[in-house]
Amino acid sequence: MIRQAAITGIGIVSAIGSDLASFRQSLFSGRSGVRRIDGRALPVPYAADVAGFVPPAGFERADRSVQFAIAAARAAVADAGLCGAPAGRIGEYVDSDRAAVSIASSKGGVASICELRERLARTGGPVEPAALADLFANCWPSTPAAAVAADLGFRGPTAVPAAACAAGSHAVIDGALMIERGEADIVIAGATEASIIPLISAGFCQLGVLAPDGVCRPFDRDRSGFAIGEGAAMLILENTADARARGAGIYAGIAGHVRAADATGIVALDESGASVASAITRALHRAAIECGTGVPPVIPEPREVDYINAHATGTRLNDIIETRAIKAAFGSHARDVAVSGTKPITGHLLGAAGAIETAICAIALRHQMIPPTINLRTRDPECDLDLVCDARRPAAVDVVMNLSFGFGGQIGVLVLTRDGFR
């Protein structure tokens, strides 16, 4: 029997809301979480931070990325209807040995490491044992995944993808593969990021990818980059048949996915978009969806993608490369599929971007609504796609795609379908 992963729960911590209702309202209304942040010595004082976040009890000394992960994971468990214990543990409700975790973070506990370095610079003396213990507990990229596994009582496989800004998508893909291969019956998959600190901001400034005014304008003629965001998104993945058997609400089925490498350079993709186009086509083949390029469909009736959540960083070259890739992969259908970029609303969550944008795709399927690309005023003629601008677009949405790219040429493509569509 074919096993397909379904998304049955979503948990989010973000600048535009840390519960699904407020997140969805802000997303569809186009309310940005980017604001001016003073007092943090940021070279560009704009970011989408999670203001007023209260750490989960017992995790007060954890790195902020771990705190976000725990909060989002518990919310996802509750949303999936699996929460029964006060602390959110569900090990007693599922087979713990077949409950897996796939959680990424591109920067890990970098904020904790920088904080300790600053403390050393101030004091010039030895570091107290408790501070060193906190550093070692917080600095590893695997810490969020380990913390979530322990909190929920999951003893199955643990994956910690390292794929820069495509890490969140890779984490969801790894989780889907665990379900498909029969390695797990339930997976909590997603990513977390807490990198609004001077070191990271300065690095992106040197690369010239941060918008000086904090306004991200994807596909706009005057675009100048993005604003850093923070937060986490966690998805509960289950085998579709099992989810239906227990009467779970299903946001979406994960029909296709591809992880790929551009193999061009560390910070830039192939300007032709060929590598991304190839990944898109392979993901569509895996999903058995006709992409409009003359490839014979695997299923009786060709089904086309209705919406693409683009990586859309608002950087000069990236948006053009992404446009070229979509046009190459979709052919004559390229100008018919709706496209939007949501980073101007959420901020660029770096390693967690692919996870939160996969969640956005699932929400679009559930509510038959496409979120807008805000701040787009003057379209770049080279970005000639069907861009959803300013206002949300009600639409019949059955198949959606999420595109993610990361430094080092990392590519992640996910194809989601509305439950029952196929």
Residues involved in catalysis:
165, 311, 348
Q: How far apart are CA 309 and CA 414, in angstroms?
A: 10
Instruction: Copy the structure tokens of residue 263.
Output: 């193999």
Beta-strand runs (E) in 127-241: 158-159, 186-193, 228-229, 231-239
End-to-end CA distance of the chain: 16
Report residue 11: phi and psi, to 5°.
Answer: -130, 135
Report DSSP letters for 62-119, one per residue: S-HHHHHHHHHHHHHHHHTT---STT---TTTTTGGGEEEEEE-SSTTHHHHHHHHHH
Counting Cβ atoms within 10 Å, is residue 75 exposed (0-12), middle (13-18) or buried (19+)?
buried
| Rounded distance between C-alpha atoms, residue 268 and residue 321, angstroms | 10
How many angstroms separate the CA atoms of 13 and 68, rounded? 6
Check residue 30 and report its DSSP letter.
Answer: T
Tokens of 334: 């390229």
Q: What's the DSSP call for residue 226?
A: B
CB 2 within 8 A of CB 241: no
341 contact partners, CB below 8 Å, separation of at least 6: 218, 219, 309, 310, 311, 312, 313, 314, 373
Strand partners, 234: 11, 190
52 contact partners, CB below 8 Å, separation of at least 6: none
